[in-house]
């Protein structure tokens, strides 16, 4: 949440910062601001999007080769001009932008108020910038020491960039819990919450670790701890191209990402399925495969869509590898007292690799000496750096706030793990294993075919775009797909939607059904086909409107339903990868028809780095 960007070098900072904010807007978009130094510092900030900030700065002095900028997702204080970052200290010595939460801010604020400080905003960030200034003036210490000392007093998470008019040729960055990447070029440095604003300038980056403090002065970077102990940061080369973070002719990132799924899935299994399709090799699991195959229990942890992928993984791993699996929300797991054993394995699932609750769950598991595995999309993000082993999904950057291709890539990894563990544990035959691998290999082509129904799905969306509620039903590994379909609709169209196991409908949701209630039923041919057909009858008997997702050529369910969307036939293990696609498209079209901002839905952020 919140995107931060910084630049120090010889170029004009303004265009670099504005472009950077646009790339990070997925992290928050309720207000934006920029501070530039060219002799005297200047701050421009405004409620609204980065484009509003751009308009606001038209005709103003935007010169300067050093600057910091912020796009906000409000935590403390409503979105308005005053609460927008950057924040300046009361006596104007320091300017700061912040991503994270200062948990002890009210205590610090009280102390500063007792010493005469007043506050303009309601933010925790203004407390931090004033604390720095207080230490600076009172202690008569350098800018650097004031920032370091202030950060030692802070409880909570932060990624901060700080500039000062007293040392106008210097930029300070610090990280604890909120991501920060530094891009390094000759005589210039770029800073950002993730690498996307940096890649068009340089591929050499340092991923800051928690507790790292960096100071850039006179073209040199110095990385140390808050206690002034020198650190040797690792400079890494990132493999990300510009094309992958642009819209490429699509109206929205979400639509582009839905259509990218055949390629994303292929990239996820590329080099991991053997050429004869008789084996699966997951290099990232090499070191951990024995403990994983012998685990007494696997615990999966994730949030949002990643949690749904975990639920699909539970069905697959239990069915094919016969290892008990529990799936937990990061936020719940971390605050209860879970019973953990050394021979448990925790799998953390996350697109961004930065979700605060998922990270906290990892830390908890480590306290119990539980081995932790990551399934992440963003290379170099915090989760893969903190886990014992892991598998990248390689779906490419996902920018639309509503997750699409990351979900199918996560399910692809979990399916590969389930099949591989099944083979290793002899819980599936080699013959069945090869059938499943071949089926997986065929999925991208099947999705390509399915995407041809886009216009037809749009025509269905037109009929339901004004609905007030939706119900999504599925059984087995399609129950999590029902949850995911409902989440997609809620997130981007603001229509209330619920996902339910189809048989549970009778225990509550059935009371909601009438002729105004569209019900999306996942009804492909699998072992619960007959049961789901009965559920559809029950809905029709109460005048509900059924949109059924069926296997191509199905006639039985078609005859009972109001609308059907066909998906190609596949092994039921992999049906989540096909059936979720029409649900993504349905939500997308409904949201567009309702005039919603699909890529930046209200109140949401793509990467939730606060708990
Ligand atoms: C936010 C996003 C969701 C995402 C969830 C978990 O809520 O809006 O799309 O599924 O965070 O994020 P992660 O990066 O950990 O998968």
Span 457-480, pLDDT tens digits: 999 999 999 999 999 999 999 999
Q: How many CA atoms lie within 13 A of 149 on its CB side?
A: 17
**pLDDT for position 352:** 94
Average pLDDT value over all residues in the chain: 95
pLDDT digits (tens, 9 = 90+) for 70-125: 999 888 889 999 999 999 999 999 999 999 999 999 999 999 999 999 999 999 99
Predicted TM-score of the model (pTM): 0.86
Nearest 5°: phi and psi at 226? -65, -20
Alpha helices per DSSP H over 115-236: 124-139, 143-152
* Residue ranges around ligand 1 (CB below 6 Å): 303-306, 350-352, 355, 358, 401-403, 604, 606-608
Task: Examine the residue annotation and report whether 463 is marked as an active-site residue of this protein.
Answer: no
Confidence of residue 611 (pLDDT cuts 50, 70, 90): confident
Confidence of residue 174 (pLDDT cuts 50, 70, 90): very high
pLDDT at 346 over 90: yes
Average pLDDT over residues 249-263: 96
- Distance from the alpha carbon of residue 519 to the mean position of ligand 1, in angstroms: 25
User: Could you give the CA distance from residue 402 to residue 393 in angstroms, rounded to a whole number?
Assistant: 17
Radius of gyration from C-alpha coordinates of the chain: 25
Cβ atoms of residues 307 and 294 within 8 Å: no
Across-strand partners of 159?
99, 175
Confidence of residue 605 (pLDDT cuts 50, 70, 90): confident
**pLDDT for position 60:** 96
pLDDT digits (tens, 9 = 90+) for 513-556: 989 999 999 999 999 999 999 999 999 999 999 999 999 999 99
Task: Please classify residue 286 by burial: count the beta carbons closer than 10 Å to its beta carbon, then call 0-12 exposed, 13-18 middle and 19+ buried.
Answer: exposed
Average pLDDT over residues 200-208: 95
Cβ atoms of residues 400 and 375 within 8 Å: no
Average pLDDT over residues 16-39: 93
222, two tokens: 């110095």
DSSP assigned state of 287: G
- Distance from the alpha carbon of residue 491 to the mean position of ligand 1, in angstroms: 11
Q: What percent of the chain has pLDDT over 70?
A: 100
**pLDDT for position 28:** 86
Confidence of residue 610 (pLDDT cuts 50, 70, 90): confident
pLDDT at 39 over 90: no
Active-site residue (options: 2, 376, 570, 596):
2
Residue among 254, 352, 392, 492 to mutate when testing ligand 1 (max atoms within 8 A of CB):
352
- Report which protein residue has its CA nearest ligand 1's atom 7: 304
pLDDT at 607 over 90: no
β pairing state of 518-522 and 545-551:
parallel
- Helices 575-593 and 479-493 cross at an angle (nearest 10°) of 20
**Which atom of ligand 1 is found nearest the CA of 403?**
9
């Amino acid at each position: 949440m919140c995107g931060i960007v910084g630049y120090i070098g010889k170029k004009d900072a303004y265009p670099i910062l504005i472009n950077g904010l646009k790339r990070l807007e997925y992290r928050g978009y309720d207000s934006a601001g920029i501070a530039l130094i060219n002799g005297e510092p200047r701050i421009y900030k405004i409620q609204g999007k980065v484009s509003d900030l751009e308009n606001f700065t038209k005709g103003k002095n935007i010169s300067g080769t050093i600057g910091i900028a912020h796009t906000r997702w409000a935590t403390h204080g409503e979105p308005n001009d005053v609460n927008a970052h950057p924040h300046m200290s009361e006596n104007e010595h320091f300017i700061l932008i912040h991503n994270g939460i200062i948990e002890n801010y009210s205590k610090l604020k009280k102390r500063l108020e007792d010493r005469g400080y007043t506050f303009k905003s309601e933010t925790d960030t203004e407390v931090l910038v004033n604390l720095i200034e207080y230490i600076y003036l009172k202690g008569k210490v350098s800018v650097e020491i004031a920032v370091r000392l202030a950060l030692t007093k802070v409880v909570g998470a932060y990624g901060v960039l700080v500039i000062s008019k007293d040392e106008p040729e210097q930029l300070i960055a610090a990280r604890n819990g909120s991501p920060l990447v530094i891009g390094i070029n000759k005589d210039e440095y770029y800073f950002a919450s993730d690498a996307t604003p940096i890649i068009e300038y340089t591929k050499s980056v340092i991923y800051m670790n928690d507790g790292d403090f960096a100071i850039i002065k006179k073209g040199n970077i110095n990385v140390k701890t808050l206690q002034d102990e020198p650190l040797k940061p690792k400079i890494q080369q990132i493999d990300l191209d510009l094309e992958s973070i642009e819209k490429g002719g699509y109206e929205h990132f979400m639509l582009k990402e839905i259509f990218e799924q055949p390629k994303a899935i292929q990239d996820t299994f590329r080099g991991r399925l053997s050429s004869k399709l008789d084996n699966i090799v997951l290099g990232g699991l090499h070191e951990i495969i024995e403990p994983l195959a012998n685990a007494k229990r696997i615990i999966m942890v994730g949030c949002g869509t990643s949690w749904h992928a975990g639920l699909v993984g539970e069905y697959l791993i239990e069915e094919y590898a016969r290892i008990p699996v529990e799936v937990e929300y990061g936020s719940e797991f971390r605050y209860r007292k879970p019973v953990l054993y050394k021979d448990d394995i925790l799998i953390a699932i996350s697109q961004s690799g930065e979700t605060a609750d998922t990270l906290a769950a990892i830390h908890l598991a480590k306290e119990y000496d539980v081995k932790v595995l990551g399934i992440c999309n963003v290379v170099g993000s915090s989760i893969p750096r903190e886990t014992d082993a892991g598998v990248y999904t390689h779906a490419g950057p996902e920018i639309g706030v509503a997750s699409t291709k990351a979900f199918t890539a996560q399910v692809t990894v979990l399916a590969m793990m389930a099949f591989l563990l099944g083979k290793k544990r002899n819980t599936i035959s080699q013959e069945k294993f090869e059938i499943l691998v071949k089926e997986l290999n065929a999925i991208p082509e099947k999705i390509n075919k399915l995407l041809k129904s886009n216009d037809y799905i749009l025509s269905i969306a037109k009929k339901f775009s004004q609905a007030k509620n939706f119900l999504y039903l599925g059984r087995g590994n399609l129950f999590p797909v029902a949850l995911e379909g409902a989440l997609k609709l809620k997130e981007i169209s603001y229509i209330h939607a619920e996902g339910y196991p189809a048989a549970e409908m009778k225990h509550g949701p059935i009371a909601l059904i009438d002729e105004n209630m569209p019900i999306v039923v996942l009804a492909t041919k699998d072992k619960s086909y007959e049961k789901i057909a009965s559920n559809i009858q029950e809905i029709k008997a109460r005048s509900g409107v059924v949109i059924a997702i069926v296997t191509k050529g199905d006639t039985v369910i078609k005859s009972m339903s109001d609308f059907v969307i066909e998906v190609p036939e596949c092994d039921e293990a992999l049906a989540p990868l096909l059936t979720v696609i029409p649900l993504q498209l349905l939500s997308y079209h409904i949201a567009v028809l309702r005039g919603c901002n699909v890529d930046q839905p209200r109140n949401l952020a793509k990467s939730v780095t606060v708990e």
